[in-house]
Structure 1
Amino acid sequence: MGLLRRTEGGVVHSLLIAIAIIASIGISYRTKINTGLLAIVFAYLIGVFVLGMKPAAVTALWPVPIFFTILAVTLFFSVAIENGTLEKISQRMLYRSRGLGWGLAVVFFVTAIVMAGLGAGFYAVMVFLAPAALVICAQVKIEPLLAGLGVIVGAQVGSNLMTSLNGIIYRGLFEKLGYSQSRSFGISFAIFIAYLVLTALVVVGLTLYYRRKAISRGEETRRGQMEVTEPEPFDFKQRVTIVLIGVFLLLALVPSILHVLFGKVDLFGTWASNIDPPLLSVVLAVVAMLLGAADSHRVIARVPWNILIMISGMGMLIQVAVAAGTIRQIANWLGGGHVPTYLVPVVLALVAAVITAFSSYIGVTAPALFPIVPTLAAVTHLNPTLLFVCATIGGLSMAISPYSEGGAMVMGFSPEGQQDAMYRKELTVGLPVMGGSALVASLILTLVFH
């Protein structure tokens, strides 16, 4: 029997879990210890010694489906990173876009979408593209914040694609909450479109603003000085990888789309249910290795084990919160008249933004907030897709925060002597613009789709 099991219930338990989540994020931020490891510690202590769960029951909370999904998808697309396929694709896009001047910010945005959408993942895109974007924009005298922001949000948009890493994780979380495969695909698609439109408007809007500001100062971009050499042709390994990526996108996307459009056709439903993106990723990864497209040891080494531990550990703690009734209490509070119904999605976006400003949306915020949505939707009679979308755009909008991974990486890639200036711009321009845009978008979406 747990130490506090006889207390009046869930309030104390919920408070302890809230403190545990905040402590996991705070300690990780200060010490750089993986958030997931800290979450596992709190899940064990609270689950066993407070809630009276058996240790085996806590261990069973390890989210095997999500863990396998990330492992499988990153394994396959690490082939494309290891043999230089994604790098070559991005180089070709940049080469063909040389001389665009202020339009380069949009080019970096689109390039990041393509790279992440092809499976590179947020971090790989940031490491490869952000330094190049900052250097090129410095050459042509374009605001460096535009370059950094374009790469960050582009990488997020691409990762949100239904067949890319974030999109597959979203679908796994939705299915775990009881939504069907087709419904999960539809919600993930809504997230992709909403964030694509929002970020495109922000990038284009800031580009026009800074261009007008430069013109008013009499400054012009040095378009002819962008140094981008023509990339070499794709080699055999890269051509094989491109074909396999095409096969993956075809098999992963087409069945789900046909099932959504023609739900009454049993063939499409069977096809969609049998084509599992994670398992398909493993199959294609093995095919790539057998064809010599990449070294298996190097590919496995590129799997983001830190992210896997972070997401899985936080998932365990969130499941302890579910067992304690914390998720239901939060949903009941938001839907219990404390917040006007039309502002609930905005508040949800704000909560997601605050959490993600100091942590990872995929690893921390989404696993924490998504379980709230079904109950919150039932209480408020709001569309659950709307709530998922608002939570996601609110959380992802904080990637430009200098305290988050994306903003910190852009600062780190900035030339010496300009890092403090980038910090101030992220804090005073990027963060308010992205956060404010997400909240306004959430309100508009609520008024239109509630």
Structure 2
Amino acid sequence: MDVLSLILFIIVIALAFFRKNNIGVLALAVGVVAVRLFGMNDRALIGAVSVSLFVTLVGITLLFAVITSTGALELLARKIIAGAGKRTWMIPILMYLAGFTIVAVGPGGVPALAIIPPLAAAIAVEVGYNPLMLALIGICGMTSGRFSPITPEGTIILSAVAKAGYTGNVTPAIWVNAVLYNLILAVVIYIAFKGYKVKAAPDAEVKRAEKFSGKQIVALLSILAMLFLIVYAKVNLGLAALSVAAVLLVFHVADDSKCIKAIPWNTIILVLGVGALLSIVAQAGGIALLSGGLSKIMNSGTATPLMSLSAGLLSLVSSALGVVYPTMMPMCIDIAKQIGGVNPAALMSAVAAAGAASGISPMSTGGALIIAAIAGENRINLTKEDENKLFVQLLIISMLTLVLLFAVSWLFYGPVADVLSPSAL
């Protein structure tokens, strides 16, 4: 059963990858077959679909669809960058901060991908930076903010950890380690693209953004309202976001039909469907078998970097949100138990950072949007050969980021986790 469950899961990933189908839909269909093979019933599969996660994802994405539709987040990012004026050296720093801020306050990485790459390309043309460099630095900022406890990514990770029965607080270590790695990566990218050679030209001044409209101010304040409900009223994250979104829509801050259509239903179906199948795989013993196999080639010194490499490679061909995090976060706990002397939060940090780092691959949503943003900037005028070169560049860079993460996680992730998230094993 354990071997067969893993084979079925691999078939789902491979079939979705090569046929370009939604993994969640295929996962649920295969789940129907799996429960019969393993002597279970349909209630086991239906019960494995997380209603709590559904409410959380719908609530967060609906609220930020409302906020984004007003242009408030994009304008906020432009104001941050406009603050540099003629101090060109500040642009990459502000680009990083813009990515971090937009993601960390709640929407997560997916909505911000619609804002940061096009913004980076436009600003790069203004000031003379390489647009790929500036887009990647913005992505580094976004990735640093993805593991805030109020983002979809943070919620999915905490949900997976809780289901695995781990009681430790892993968020501080995961978040700080992600920021550490991405800061180092941003500096490496800046140096590699020779960003330090760009000097401010007389006409290379970023235009000051317009003032926030009344609707935009209300939209931004709604984020604070959501945080108030979560922190002080102890309202569930998803319900808090849904409640605030409902108030905004009642007062016509945005068009409800457009905002509901803007919810990433594909991603939600993907996450819930894969999560349900993984629950069946876990009940059949597949996850225990996989973690046991990995533990045999790991020791307390190599476990963290090897987990980063494994998660990064898996993320190149699958979704971090739908496959990597739900699959490998519980494995981190099992592996830490079997090896001994390693903090599960360090392993989770490696999985979290690697799953996000591979997102810049041109075969992923992040990489594809970077290429589209640069190609869509009329003042760049890319030829077909330029686009092919850009594709290869991103592919090589996505591989090199995993090499850097391997080194950073080996050197730093364990000590950081021991200080911020002591093991609860």
- TM-score between the two structures when normalised by the length of structure 1: 0.84
- Runs ≥4 residues deviating over 6 A: none
The equivalent position to 2:249 in structure 1, one of 289, 292, 308, is 289
Moved more, 299-308 or 129-138: 129-138
| Counterpart code for 1:165 | P
1:59-70 to structure 2, matched below 5 A, reads: 59-70=46-57
Which residue does 1:385 correspond to in 2?
345
The equivalent position to 2:142 in structure 1, one of 146, 152, 155, is 155
1:355 aligns with 2:314: yes
Which residue does 1:421 correspond to in 2?
389
Distance 1:414 1:74 in 2: 26
The equivalent position to 1:188 in structure 2, one of 160, 164, 171, is 171
Q: 1:25 to 1:99 in 2, by over 3 A?
A: farther
Secondary structure (helix, strand or coil) at the match of 1:163 reads coil
- Please, what is the CA RMSD of the aligned residues? 2.3
Check whether the contact 2:66–2:253 (CA below 8 A) recurs between aligned residues: yes
Which residue does 2:235 correspond to in 1?
275
Distance 1:345 1:14 in 2: 25
Which residue does 1:339 correspond to in 2?
298
Which residue does 2:10 correspond to in 1?
22
1:202 aligns with 2:185: yes
The equivalent position to 1:302 in structure 2, one of 259, 262, 265, is 262
Check whether the contact 2:61–2:264 (CA below 8 A) recurs between aligned residues: yes
The equivalent position to 2:155 in structure 1, one of 150, 168, 188, is 168
Check whether the contact 1:61–1:316 (CA below 8 A) recurs between aligned residues: yes
Distance 1:167 1:198 in 2: 17
Secondary structure (helix, strand or coil) at the match of 1:134 reads helix
Q: 1:208 to 1:338 in 2, by over 3 A?
A: closer
1:427-446 to structure 2, matched below 5 A, reads: 427-428=395-396, 430-445=397-412
| Counterpart code for 2:57 | I
The equivalent position to 1:234 in structure 2, one of 202, 208, 212, is 212
Which residue does 1:402 correspond to in 2?
362
1:35 aligns with 2:3: no
Following TM superposition, by how much is the alpha carbon of 1:16 offset from its aligned partner in structure 2, in angstroms? 3.1
The equivalent position to 1:145 in structure 2, one of 128, 132, 135, is 132
Which residue does 1:316 correspond to in 2?
276
Q: 1:54 to 1:228 in 2, by over 3 A?
A: same
Which residue does 2:423 correspond to in 1?
none
Following TM superposition, by how much is the alpha carbon of 1:370 offset from its aligned partner in structure 2, in angstroms? 1.5
1:95 aligns with 2:82: yes
1:77 aligns with 2:64: yes
Following TM superposition, by how much is the alpha carbon of 1:446 offset from its aligned partner in structure 2, in angstroms? 5.4
Which residue does 2:121 correspond to in 1?
134
Following TM superposition, by how much is the alpha carbon of 1:202 offset from its aligned partner in structure 2, in angstroms? 1.3
Following TM superposition, by how much is the alpha carbon of 1:157 offset from its aligned partner in structure 2, in angstroms? 2.3
Q: 1:339 to 1:123 in 2, by over 3 A?
A: closer
Distance 1:19 1:143 in 2: 44
Check whether the contact 2:349–2:413 (CA below 8 A) recurs between aligned residues: no
Q: Identity of counterpart residues, as a percentage?
A: 23
Check whether the contact 2:116–2:135 (CA below 8 A) recurs between aligned residues: no
For this pair of structures, how many residues does the alignment match? 408
Check whether the contact 1:86–1:115 (CA below 8 A) recurs between aligned residues: yes
1:125 aligns with 2:112: yes
| Counterpart code for 1:20 | L
Q: 1:424 to 1:58 in 2, by over 3 A?
A: same
| Counterpart code for 1:445 | F
| Counterpart code for 2:52 | P
Which residue does 1:4 correspond to in 2?
none
The equivalent position to 2:223 in structure 1, one of 221, 245, 262, is 245
Structure 2: segments with no counterpart, 5+ residues: 376-381, 419-425
Q: 1:447 to 1:305 in 2, by over 3 A?
A: closer
